[in-house]
Structure 1
Amino acid sequence: MNAVPAAGDRRRHAAPAHLTFFHGPMDCGKSTLALQVDHNQSRQGRHGLRLTQGDRSRSARISSRVGLSRDAVEVDAGTDVRLLVRDRWAAGHRVDYVVVDEAQFLTGAQVEHLAELVDQSHVDVYAFGLTTDFRAQLFPGTQRLFELADVVQRIQVEVLCWCGAPGLLNARVVGGAMVRDGETVVVADTAPETDLGTAPDEVRYQVLCRRHHVGGQLGPTPTGPGQLTLSGQPLADEQVAVR
């Protein structure tokens, strides 16, 4: 049996690799697309590494709101993503591509490390993340990906504001009211208010158009099924993340 190459055919043949960043607001299908890209790559015989941080499942997985999920490696701000790949190579496993979900949480240095994997090791990187936080400001990871990625694509699945206009911005709602101050990262999902109630410590997110985000107008109470009901218990430090 032939030995497994350290990193796949691209290291041997030096075919160009790319850093691609897919971004959008909440509910636009980032995690679903991440899983689809991973599926399409793997079915062609390529070997990948899936990374995530602060997934809605509260576990080391990439999970989507439509019910798809796969296991992944959980990273944090101290993770050197280059070492994760090199450890796979050292164990005799190929890594032809890396899929990174929740890429907005990456540090600037981690984005640079991903670019290094692309340029020096010919590993394709597909990153998926939110464009802006609840204050309509770029996440640091998102900003660095905009600066360094070979390809930047806004995800084309349209998310609607309650008024019917395209939803572009993520609003944080605490106890039924939109807030503009607080930690950049707090884990919650887009469950309707009818699922969560209006307790002071209950958090959800809602996608709004620019006009209603600026005006702080949440519109009529949502009536659709929610995605995740928070218990109201304080979040542990490692759970602090925006969805």
Structure 2
Amino acid sequence: MSKLTFSHAPMGGGKSLSTLVRHRHATTHDLNSILLVCNPRVEGVVSSRVGMEAPAIEITADTNLFDLLAKLHAQNPIYHVIADEAHFYTAKQIEELAQVVDVLDVDVEAYGLLSDYRTRLFEASARLVELADEIITLPTRPLCACGRTATLNARLVDGQMVTDGEQILVGDIKGNKIRYEAVCRRCHIQTKPKVQASLFTESLENN
């Protein structure tokens, strides 16, 4: 019986590697595996930090995933669908993936971040939590710089952690101005009181 699975981990937690391994397992046996990617760093490719990569179908926020996959399924029956960077999808697209499972009877495996750098759920991740038949925390958890297991994501601008701004902002691939790293909850929240205290002090000084 087909199901919708959501596998999540923080930055560096092996999500893309897991998608590539699953895709590899299917294609090795000549099974039709569809690999989807949204907002990729390299167009039409899923790649991992360990050097593996595979071509993928690139989608946008306007892509109707059920229509796309139903058409492909009619041409050549799909064994399963693997959605990388699923947190970048829209909530509607997650519903369309659930429809693929229920109507086409095709397994869908979504991989992505659970929460953003503010510790808030991504829209698509929240919908996956609500609709998925199975939710998996990937076991390859990265370590925070303090040595604890990292469960959250941090955005660093010029080396300093920030906790406000746009939810989606792609890191600086060539430079180091904007980057992301996995952190534990304790290290993440330690920056917030400092920021709030600074703002409170400024407010007192200006009044």
Name the CA distance, whole Å, in 2 between partners of 1:98 and 1:158.
24
Alignment gaps of 5+ in structure 2: 193-207
Select the residue among 142, 145, 154 that pairs with 2:125: 142
Select the residue among 190, 195, 202 that pairs with 1:215: 190
Name the CA distance, whole Å, in 2 between partners of 1:122 and 1:87.
14
Q: Quick check: 2:155–2:162 contact (8 Å CA) kept in 1?
A: yes
| In the alignment, structure 1 residue 98 sits paired with structure 2 residue 81 | yes
Partner SS for 1:128: strand
| In the alignment, structure 1 residue 82 sits paired with structure 2 residue 70 | no
Name the CA distance, whole Å, in 1 between partners of 2:60 and 2:186.
34
Name the CA distance, whole Å, in 2 between partners of 1:48 and 1:20.
15
Name the CA distance, whole Å, in 1 between partners of 2:175 and 2:103.
48
Select the residue among 32, 55, 58 that pairs with 1:47: 32
Name the CA distance, whole Å, in 2 between partners of 1:61 and 1:160.
27
Q: Which residue of 2 aligns with 1:19?
A: 4
How much has 1:55 moved relative to structure 2? 2.2
What whole-Å deviation, never above 9, does each CA across 1:67-121 have from its counterpart, x for those lacking one? Answer: 000111111211101121122244x222221110000111111111111110111
Q: Quick check: 2:4–2:98 contact (8 Å CA) kept in 1?
A: yes
What whole-Å deviation, never above 9, does each CA across 1:147-174 have from its counterpart, x for those lacking one? Answer: 1111110000021110100111111111
TM-score (norm: length of structure 1): 0.75
User: How does 1:85-164 map onto structure 2 within 5 Å?
Assistant: 85-90=69-74, 92-164=75-147
Partner SS for 2:20: helix
TM-score (norm: length of structure 2): 0.87
Q: Which residue of 2 aligns with 1:184?
A: 167
Alignment gaps of 5+ in structure 1: 1-15, 218-243
Partner SS for 1:205: strand
Partner SS for 1:39: helix
| In the alignment, structure 1 residue 204 sits paired with structure 2 residue 179 | yes
Q: Which has the higher helix share?
A: 2
What whole-Å deviation, never above 9, does each CA across 1:32-88 have from its counterpart, x for those lacking one? Answer: 0001111112223321211001223x3111100000001111112111011211222
Name the CA distance, whole Å, in 1 between partners of 2:30 and 2:49.
27
Q: Which residue of 1 aligns with 2:48?
A: 64
Partner SS for 1:111: helix
Name the CA distance, whole Å, in 1 between partners of 2:82 and 2:107.
9
How many residue pairs get matched? 192
Partner SS for 2:71: helix
Structure 1 vs Structure 2: percent identity of aligned residues?
A: 39
Q: Quick check: 2:70–2:104 contact (8 Å CA) kept in 1?
A: no
Q: Which residue of 2 aligns with 1:11?
A: none
Partner SS for 1:32: helix
How much has 1:196 moved relative to structure 2? 4.2
